[in-house]
Amino acid sequence: MAYVIAAPCVADYSCVEVCPVDCISPGPDDGQFEDAEQMFIDPDRCIDCGLCYEACPVLAIFSEDKLPEKWQPYAQINRQYFAQQQTGRTRR
Amino acid sequence: MNNTKLRVAVVGAGPAGLYATGELLKNGGYNVKVDLYERLPTPWGLVRAGVAPDHHDKKLITDRLFDFFIENPDVCFFGNIEVGRDVSHEELSDWYDAVIYAVGASSDTHLNVPGEELSGCWAAREFVAWYNGHPDFSGLEFDLSTERAVIVGNGNVALDVARILTMPVAELEKTDIADHALAALRDSKVNEVVLLGRRGHLQGAFHNPELEELEHLQDVDVIVEAEGLLSDSDAELADADWDTVRKVETLRRLAVRPITGASKRIVLRFLASPVALQGNGKLEQLVVVRNALERDDTGALRARPTQKQSTVDTGLVLRAIGYRGCPFPGLPFDDRRGVIENHLGRVGSENDAVPGVYVTGWIKRGPKGVIGSNKKCARDTVRCLLEDSAAGKLRAASLDANAVANILMERKPDLIQYQGWKKIDQQERLAGQSAGRPRVKLTHLDAMTECALN
């Protein structure tokens, strides 16, 4: 089980700053940050510690099993973000 | 470092100013004091007056983050005081070691088409400020007796406005939307909102979460008028980035949804630009031209108008094609970009910076990004400021904190400080509690100052 960042995210990146395994992207110094709509959590690297959940100033982070109904797709969207980066399909 | 604290004035208590305050507290080694100046009696800038009322989650940032900055003993909030009017830039740069301007973008881009001056044509910026109870806009009167409204632009502001115009009033009644807006929307005859995108569906300015929200609206049919949307080949999408593909997938889902005959409709139209507004004394029609896409010399896709024009009956046109910063008295302005001229946040040019004067937020980098974009922006500006301080490049403040506070209170008897703002905050929340809303906003300066100062 991983944490998932959903629609309310405002790209504050407090989550990136507290994540002990650096599994949240993009961070403020990544090239993609400027155009980022939101941050994403890599479900394969998330250790489910919950620090990001506490840190998020807009409560945009949910444990995957507690995602509100309307934001169910975000589990997949967080996963896809990292999958597309690996396949080299990057943002302009 | 001596035992005198570095004294910084931050001008503007929106996200840019608050993040700058936060970065100063975090990186200033407990050796910084911040005076936060705000033109309005209330802090939070566009989080209060810009974020849509139905996006309550995003507003949590004030309680969960910004409030910790503003209530910090090393921070003083000075509200209801306008720098450039009540206090000059020269005074601030004299009184403090450094000044950071975080004044945002208070104007917007015009359509520049004939008829724009007709009554019924507004900036979406004005409509947003009005429904959010910004005191400078509370007195505006929007004529919502027209059945169709047209929004020029399809960014997040355009989508916010479209939602507010079509949302069931019962839903709006649960939010902190201004009471005067609620009353006007109750009587609204608007049942169709058309959004005009200059370019194609692959170039929509909306973000994914805002676009996806259209799938969850109650009693609203969403019509997507995008040629080629369903027939785009994989090859055409192969060049598109992941964000864009996600948008196209959402648009396709919306396009194939059955029309339910809901009470309201939102129409997403692409490759369309306004060319003229027409009407007898007030707006009655919008003339729209069909665009074609072509690549310019830099390879960017541009919209080029074709010969094909059509007319849309409407009594309300809202332009939502971008905010724009305004010049600030005493500071150099880059008119092309609509920002205070700066290099990495230092005001002035790279080789000729004005000592001790900085910018952050939209007035530094232009009106783009989301709330959190301001955090990195502020971090970078504050880094420059602290570097300059360490290098001895700042002129020492001429007054101490108490002396400044005394001058301000004398000059501005209705100055509103943190305790005053908290009174407004409490009254609004209390009024909200009995109505089942997050807050009921005070929307007039008189009511705000009376509440804060009594």
Q: Can you spell out the DSSP letters for B296-316?
A: -TTS-EEEEEEEEEEEEE-SE
pLDDT above 70 as % of chain B: 99
In 3D space, the residue among B1, B16, B23 whose CA is nearest the CA of residue B75 turns out to be B23
In 3D space, the residue among B149, B143, B159 whose CA is nearest the CA of residue B212 turns out to be B159
Give the side-chain half-sphere CA count within 13 A for B419: 4
Q: Closest Cα of chain A to B64: distance in Å?
A: 5
Q: What is the mean pLDDT of residues B23-42?
A: 95
Contact across the interface for A77 and B57, Cβ inside 8 Å: no
Q: What is the pLDDT of residue B203?
A: 93
Residue stretches of chain A with pLDDT short of 70:
88-92
Q: What is the pLDDT of residue A88?
A: 57
Residue B227: pLDDT band with limits 50, 70, 90: confident
CA angle B53, B57, B63 (to 5 degrees): 100
- What is this model's ipTM? 0.94
- Kindly state whether A31 is in contact with chain B, defined as any CB-CB distance less than 8 angstroms: no
pLDDT above 90 as % of chain B: 93
**Taking the complete model, does pTM exceed 0.90, yes or no?**
yes
Q: Which residues in chain B are contacts of A38 at CB distance < 8 A?
A: 209, 370
Q: What is the pLDDT of residue B97?
A: 98
Q: What is the pLDDT of residue B336?
A: 95
Q: What is the pLDDT of residue B3?
A: 55
Structure tokens at B193: 């909102």
Contact across the interface for B373 and A34, Cβ inside 8 Å: yes
Contact across the interface for B242 and A91, Cβ inside 8 Å: yes
Task: State yes or no: pLDDT of B82 exceeds 70.
Answer: yes
Task: State yes or no: pLDDT of B408 exceeds 90.
Answer: yes
Domains and their CATH numbers in chain A: 3-87 (3.30.70.20)
Query: Which B residues 362-401 touch A at CB under 8 Å?
Result: 369-373, 375-376, 379
pLDDT, chain B, mean = 96
CB distance B207 to A5 below 8 Å: no
B435 alpha-carbon distance from chain centroid? 27
Q: SS3 of B453, please?
A: helix
- Kindly state whether A90 is in contact with chain B, defined as any CB-CB distance less than 8 angstroms: yes
Q: Which residues in chain A are contacts of B370 at CB distance < 8 A?
A: 10-11, 36-38
User: Which backbone phi and psi does B21 adopt, to 5 degrees?
Assistant: -60, -45
> What are the strands, taking DSSP E only, across B170-315?
192-196, 220-225, 264-269, 272-278, 285-295, 301-313
Q: SS3 of B57, please?
A: helix
Contact across the interface for B209 and A33, Cβ inside 8 Å: no
Q: Closest Cα of chain B to A12: distance in Å?
A: 4
- Kindly state whether A89 is in contact with chain B, defined as any CB-CB distance less than 8 angstroms: yes
Q: Which residue has the higher pLDDT, B239 or B342?
A: B342
Task: State yes or no: pLDDT of B243 exceeds 50.
Answer: yes
- Kindly state whether A91 is in contact with chain B, defined as any CB-CB distance less than 8 angstroms: yes
Q: Which residues in chain B are contacts of A77 at CB distance < 8 A?
A: 246
B321 alpha-carbon distance from chain centroid? 12
Angstrom distance (rounded) from CA A92 to CA B282: 43
**Which amino acid appears at position B397 of this protein?**
A
Counting one residue from A and one from B, how many pairs have CB atoms under 8 Å apart?
Answer: 72
